Amino acid sequence: MNVAMPTNEMTRTGVAEVLDQKRKFLVPSVYHFYKDPPLMTRGEGCELFDSDGRAYLDLYSGVGAMSLGHSHQDVLAAAHQQIDELQHTTTIYLTQPMFDLAERLATLAPGPLNRSFFCSSGTEANEAALLMASQFTGRGHFLSLDGGLHGRTKAAMSVTQVPMWRTDPFLLETCQCAPGYHDESSLGVVEKELRTRDYAAVIAEPIQGNGGIIAPPSGYWQTLRKLCDDTDTLLIADEVQTGINRTGTFFAVDYEQVVPDFITTAKALGNGFPIAACLTTDTVANVSTRPAAATYGANPIACAVALAVLEHHERNNLAEQVAEHGRCLVTHLYRLSRQTNLIREVRGRGLMVGAELGDAEHQDAAAIADRVLEEMKDRGFLLGKTGIGRNVVTFMPPLVITEEQLSRACDQFGTVLQKIAGE
């Protein structure tokens, strides 16, 4: 007997209808980019397509998640095969993909970071690290850096230091903030804090993403590691955004050859499937014996996809390609910064690059960034925006993007900047 299946056609609505549904049925804190937003209905490679069939080159990849781009055949094949066999059990039953992924990550992570705790989001992975750090050290205080973003739950938000994301009126008073990478006094304050109070851990992003693509000065993490060692404080590297070759090395801490006590990672690992990992050492893991479980942690489909993603990265040497394409992108943007007075600074590493906007007349830089994003979208290019002042136009494309696609995007970016500068 043929049973009529609901199709996408039956539920598809236009932009106006969707915005109406949003107003009625979503919490208003969930906001979208663009005054005139497209309704995305399909993705393929580095492109997204809207409900009118318009194509957009996706240079933000779902905030860095779609590392292999949209509808990648390796991802689809892994997901299809796994869903046909076994969809979900939770970690109270043994399933093969979880153990294969844990073993794979142990070989890819630096030094003795051999143990994984799997969950579904970057926030949860950071919560897991903060929890294990308290259990291991018997201490309850945490130190984080100005400009860092670590998540949306109580503790993860309490260590987040980007004002717009600190929305809980009752954040934990056990979390302190030191100046960020842009401030010369940063390491001095970190040292003073660690020597005057017993902290369980310092948590930081090796390159701050949401804070505006801000990398630390060279040697920063090596000194941070030493300060943590000297004071028996654990070091958590939040690589939710920088991990899995985004910056041209598997983890961004590999660039400075620093081994933290925890690495948390998510986004690019699952290529859009919800999977996150908190990696730690045997020493820390062996003390964290109290029960821990996440219902959707290590979901077999997400793990099978993550394994396919990692295999594709390795087989195609994506780390090297990302480093090279990142250099190309930065070179293009430097060239543009010499042609217009709207770019204040270009920064980042690999395919995590930001162009901070602002002009000599001190017009509203966030408004300029919004204009740029809207104009770029109308020309078929999707960019991100980050920074405390929301004025850093951000390039975080799929890691498989080609040089030709990058230079096409930069040419349009230049044209749009020139148009705005000339107004």
Nearer to ligand PMP, 151 or 180 (CB): 151
Residue 190 Cβ vs ligand PMP, minimum distance, rounded to whole Å: 19
Q: How far is the CB of 51 from ligand PMP (least distance, A)?
A: 26
Of 308, 382, 282, nearest to 78 by C-alpha is 308
> With respect to ligand PMP, which residue has the nearer C-beta, 19 or 63?
63
The least distance separating ligand PMP from the CB of residue 164, rounded to whole angstroms, comes to 12
* Least spacing, CB of residue 288 vs ligand PMP, in Å: 20
Strand order in the sheet with 175-178: 115-119, 276-280, 262-265, 234-238, 199-204, 141-145, 175-178
149 vs 304, beta carbon nearer ligand PMP: 149
Closest alpha carbon to 271 in 53, 67, 72 = 67
Residue 123 or 161: which CB sits closer to ligand PMP?
A: 123
What residue is closest to ligand PMP based on CB?
122
Minimum CB separation from ligand PMP for residue 391, in Å? 18
CA distance 201 to 284: 12
Contacts of 387 (CB under 8 A, 6+ apart): 211, 212, 213, 354, 356
At 418, phi and psi to the nearest 5?
-65, -40
Which amino acid is residue 130, in one-letter code? L
Report the residue number, 215 or 342, with the smaller CB distance to ligand PMP.
215
The continuous run of DSSP H or E covering 260 comes out as none
CB of residue 243 to ligand PMP, shortest distance in Å? 9
Dist CA 276 CA 268 (whole Å): 9
Angle, in degrees to the nearest 10, between helices 186-196 and 220-230: 10
- Smallest distance, Å, CB 149 to ligand PMP? 5
* Nearest distance in Å: CB 259, ligand PMP: 19
Interface with ligand PMP (CB under 6 A)? 63, 121-123, 126, 149-152, 205, 209-210, 238, 240-241, 266
Would you say 45 or 122 has its CB closer to ligand PMP?
122
- Looking at beta carbons only, is 203 or 259 nearer to ligand PMP? 203
Minimum CB separation from ligand PMP for residue 382, in Å?
A: 16
Q: What is the DSSP letter of 43?
A: E
Among left, alpha and beta (phi > 0; psi -120 to 50; other), residue 296 is: alpha
CB of 180 to ligand PMP, least distance (A): 13
Q: Which two tokens stand for residue 305?
A: 């996809």
Q: Which two tokens stand for residue 59?
A: 């240079």
CA gap 321, 247 in Å, rounded: 10
Smallest separation, CB 150 to ligand PMP (Å): 5
User: Is the dihedral angle over the CA atoms 406, 409, 411, 417 positive or is it negative?
Assistant: negative
DSSP tag of 36: S
Residue 400 to residue 267: CA distance in whole angstroms: 15
Q: Indicate the residue among 214 and 410 with the shorter CB distance to ligand PMP.
A: 214
Q: Tokens 């970057």 identify what position?
A: 122
**The pair of three-digit structure tokens given for residue 112, joined into one six-digit string:** 């003795």
Q: Which is closer to ligand PMP, CB of 186 or CB of 241?
A: 241
C-beta of residue 259 within 8 angstroms of C-beta of residue 280:
no
Burial class of 150 by CB neighbour count within 10 A (0 to 12, 13 to 18, 19+) = buried
Q: Would you say 178 or 343 has its CB closer to ligand PMP?
A: 178
**Shorter beta-carbon distance to ligand PMP: residue 263 or 343:** 263
| Segment (H or E) for 234 | strand 234-238
